[in-house]
Structure 1
Amino acid sequence: MSMVVIAVLLCVASAAGYAAGAVLQERLAQRPLGVLVRMPLWWAAIALNGVGAALHVVALRYGPLSLVQPFGVLTLVLAVPLAALLARRAVTAVEGRGIGLTVAGLIGILLLAGTTTGIGVLTTAQLVGLVLVTAALLTALGGWSAVPGASGLWAAVAAGVSFGVSSALTQTVAVHVTADGFGALRYPAVTVAVLAIAALSTAGMLFTQRSYRAGLGAPLAVSTLANPVAAAAIGLALLGEQITGGSLGAAVALAGAVVAGAGVTLLTRAQTRGAAKPAAERPVVTVGVASAGLGNLSAP
């Protein structure tokens, strides 16, 4: 079995773990933390998210960043039918169209997958430079999003960038740890990467929360797609990955991103419409897209 096939299987399993955890979290969302910590179902949701994160990290060891990261979109796709099944209802027409468009777009985006001879890692200079550029970009995006009346989409872009860069750093850490075990922490690049991953993951969650102040649909769609775009840009610029098919492949991948964006927007619109219904009309379990958006290390 090739490394790419292994990476794809791990990505699908990771997305399934995130989706299942998100649906469970959504089911318990109205309960206070003091109650949640005494509920086995909540701990099961935490465990599922942990499994998803672990599988994502392993996938980054077997596949290029530009291949692994787009699979985070599948978290939304898998959460929809799972939530419908638990709620004992059929998937709606809007949800069905969203799933179809997202899957079709994902196929196009995967044309960005690198054609490298191995899994690239960031050098110390590249890593420090990337962290500094990312910090400056997030500071600017955070400032724009904090302006009174500003669009929440600025914060959504910042969230996607945070999780995308975090995945790039995670890949570097995963490769070094696989080769040298925890002794890899003696390398300055690995130590800096670990600290940056913690900071970026926290920033991503905070930016995501801010982006939802004006609604869910558009911010979630933007952050979900900004994540793999940022990761792919790093893979192409710093890790030696190349676009399959040259200019034609790039055009198809761009079209795929547009189609996937339309699909994710439909899925989140369906969630927003469901939330707008009176409580008596809503199913017991709703699609956990809000939680799914936070699940990817990529932070999906």
Structure 2
Amino acid sequence: MTVLAAVIALVGSLFFALGAALQQFEAAGSAKPGLLALLRKPRWLLGGASILTGGGLHIVALGLGPLTIVQPMGVASLLFALPITATLHGRKPSPKELAAAGVVAGGLVGLVLLVPDSEGPTYLSPNGVLTLLGVAGVAAVLLWAASRVASPAGRAALLATSSGVLYGATATLMRVLLDGTWNWWYVLALPVPLLLALVMLQRAYAVGHFGVSFASLQIADPLTAVAFGALLLGEPVPTGVLPVAAALLTAAGTVALARTSPLESRNNPPTHSPL
């Protein structure tokens, strides 16, 4: 069953990567990458369906195998997404680009495996939910504001990080809904960070540096969820030298991606802008 779980999780990562690549291709080619405009594009919708399929397969894999096997398979979506996106844009990914993505993936696997398992049901008070949404919202706005004065690669990273923070808040609230005590209005609050995260991510994709934006999303989402789990749910966090080393590895890989990932927006002339 463990092998089957790993295979299903790997296939799920492929679907997630394909969906992200399709959505980035449409967002990068849209003069107005707003959510309403993108919803009218069949290829963007197909990407959304692919992402949902990948997420569903990941849930199935978690039901069949241990977290320590399934979660690292999810990181493979970064390595799948780069060649798919490059093909859509009519190029081949460079060895340096793939190597940088490998460094990010290695660091992420380390971080995922080092996060301690949580025990017991989760509980978040109404004030805690407001704190969760408020902190995530402020962080997302600050990252969005900083992106407006950043280089193209920096803008892609900051917007995707903003999206990752909002997705991390969404994941935390979803865990409370599935595993804890909650009020009915928690359900009404759930779409707020989710929709904002989707909007921020499409803006990041529209910039054109897909490798940077996708890597930043992959890093920010789980780290934000871990941080909120520790601060609001009292869950344990990884300690010691190894988590720091894994975090530095992901950061170094992301910077390398910013320097090697080309500008793939069809609305702008191709340029190389370091982070």
Letter in 2 for 1:160: G
Letter in 2 for 1:170: M
* Residue number among 157, 160, 163 corresponding to 2:164 in the alignment: 160
Output the CA distance in 2 between the equivalents of 1:99 and 1:27.
19
Pair 1:194-2:187 in alignment: yes
Pair 1:131-2:135 in alignment: no
- The equivalent of 1:288 in structure 2 is none
Shift of 1:201: 0.7
- The equivalent of 1:263 in structure 2 is 253
**Number of aligned pairs?**
259
Superposition pairs of residues 141-220 of structure 1, within 5 angstroms: 141=139, 144=142, 145-146=144-145, 156-175=160-179, 189=182, 191-208=184-201, 216=209
Pair 1:75-2:77 in alignment: yes
Q: Which has the higher contact order (CA 8 A, sep 6+)?
A: 1
CA distance change for structure 1 residues 252 and 105 in 2, over 3 Å: closer, same or farther? same
Output the CA distance in 2 between the equivalents of 1:12 and 1:130.
35
- The equivalent of 2:222 in structure 1 is 228
Spell out, residue by residue over 1:126-161, the C-alpha distance to the aligned partner (whole angstroms, 9 max, x if none): 253432122322443355444896655765544222
Output the CA distance in 2 between the equivalents of 1:146 and 1:262.
24
- The equivalent of 1:294 in structure 2 is none
* Residue number among 44, 47, 58 corresponding to 1:45 in the alignment: 47
Output the CA distance in 2 between the equivalents of 1:156 and 1:36.
19
* Residue number among 20, 27, 30 corresponding to 2:18 in the alignment: 20
Output the CA distance in 2 between the equivalents of 1:94 and 1:116.
37
Output the CA distance in 1 between the equivalents of 2:37 and 2:205.
24
Letter in 2 for 1:225: I
Output the CA distance in 2 between the equivalents of 1:266 and 1:254.
18
Shift of 1:109: 0.8
Shift of 1:262: 2.5
Shift of 1:31: 6.6
Spell out, residue by residue over 1:31-66, the C-alpha distance to the aligned partner (whole angstroms, 9 max, x if none): 798898585x55533321221233455567789999
Shift of 1:16: 1.8
RMSD: 4.6
CA distance change for structure 1 residues 233 and 210 in 2, over 3 Å: closer, same or farther? same
Output the CA distance in 2 between the equivalents of 1:215 and 1:42.
15
Superposition pairs of residues 257-296 of structure 1, within 5 angstroms: 257-275=247-265
Instruction: State TM-score, norm by structure 1.
Output: 0.63
Shift of 1:215: 7.4
CA distance change for structure 1 residues 264 and 171 in 2, over 3 Å: closer, same or farther? same
CA distance change for structure 1 residues 106 and 138 in 2, over 3 Å: closer, same or farther? closer
Letter in 1 for 2:79: V
Q: Is the 8 A contact 1:21 1:49 kept in 2?
A: yes
Shift of 1:96: 2.1
CA distance change for structure 1 residues 109 and 35 in 2, over 3 Å: closer, same or farther? closer
Letter in 2 for 1:202: L
Share of identical aligned residues, percent? Answer: 28
Letter in 2 for 1:122: T
Q: Is the 8 A contact 1:109 1:256 kept in 2?
A: yes
Q: Is the 8 A contact 1:77 1:99 kept in 2?
A: yes
Output the CA distance in 2 between the equivalents of 1:96 and 1:9.
22
Shift of 1:241: 4.8
Instruction: State TM-score, norm by structure 2.
Output: 0.68
Letter in 2 for 1:96: L
- The equivalent of 2:273 in structure 1 is none
The unaligned stretches of length 5 or more in structure 2 are 271-275
- The equivalent of 1:122 in structure 2 is 122
